Structure 1
Amino acid sequence: MWAGQMLCEALNWVIKHVVQEERPHHELGEGFGFPSSHSQWMGYFATFLLSHLTFRHRFAPTGWRIVDVLWRSAVYMGLIGWALAVAYSRYHLLYHTPRQVIWGLSIGVLFGAWYYAVIEIFPVVWPTSVFGRTRAAVLGNSVSTWFRIRDGWAVWEDGGKEVEWLQWRREWERSRFGVRPADRSAKVE
Structure 2
Amino acid sequence: MADDTVPLASLSLTHVHYDPTDPLSYLCAWLALVPQGLCVVYATLILFTREIEIALLFAGQLACEAINFALKRLIKEERPRRMNGKGYGMPSSHAQFVAYFAVSLTLFLLFRHQPPSPRVRRRNHTPMGLLERTGWSVLGLGVAAAVAWSRVYLNYHTEKQVLVGAAAGTVSAIGWFVITAIVRQTGWLAWAIDLPIAKWLRIRDLIVEEDLCQAGWEKWDDKITELKAKEKKRKGR
Q: Is the shorter-chain TM-score for this pair beyond 0.5, marking a shared fold?
A: yes
Seen in structure 2, the aligned counterparts of structure 1 residues 58 and 165 have a Cα distance that, compared at 3 Å, is farther
Trace 1:170-189 onto structure 2 (pairs within 5 A).
Answer: 170-176=222-228
The equivalent of 2:65 in structure 1 is: 9
The equivalent of 2:145 in structure 1 is: 84
Seen in structure 2, the aligned counterparts of structure 1 residues 140 and 93 have a Cα distance that, compared at 3 Å, is same
SS at match of 1:152: coil
Contact 2:95/2:162 (<8 A) preserved: yes
User: Which of 43-52 and 18-27 deviates more?
Assistant: 18-27
Q: Kindly indicate whether residue 213 of structure 2 is the aligned counterpart of residue 152 of structure 1.
A: no
Give 1:33 deviation, angstroms. 0.6
TM-score normalised according to structure 2 size: 0.62
- Per-residue displacement from partner, 1:94-130 (whole Å, max 9, x unpaired)? 11000100000000001001101111x2234x32xxx
Contact 2:95/2:166 (<8 A) preserved: yes
Aligned equivalent of 2:103, options 47, 51, 54: 47
Q: Which one has a larger percent helix, Structure 1 or Structure 2?
A: 1
The equivalent of 2:39 in structure 1 is: none
Trace 1:60-75 onto structure 2 (pairs within 5 A).
Answer: 61=118, 68=129, 70-75=131-136
Q: Kindly indicate whether residue 164 of structure 2 is the aligned counterpart of residue 107 of structure 1.
A: no
Percent of aligned positions that are identical: 33
Contact 1:25/1:95 (<8 A) preserved: no
Seen in structure 2, the aligned counterparts of structure 1 residues 25 and 152 have a Cα distance that, compared at 3 Å, is farther
Aligned equivalent of 1:34, options 87, 90, 101: 90
The equivalent of 1:136 in structure 2 is: 190
SS at match of 1:162: coil
Seen in structure 2, the aligned counterparts of structure 1 residues 46 and 160 have a Cα distance that, compared at 3 Å, is closer
Seen in structure 2, the aligned counterparts of structure 1 residues 69 and 57 have a Cα distance that, compared at 3 Å, is closer
TM-score normalised according to structure 1 size: 0.77
The separation in 1 between residues aligned to 2:94 and 2:139, in whole angstroms, is: 17
Unaligned runs of 5+ in 1: 180-188
The separation in 1 between residues aligned to 2:137 and 2:195, in whole angstroms, is: 35
Letter in 2 for 1:136: A
RMSD (Å) for aligned C-alpha atoms: 2.7
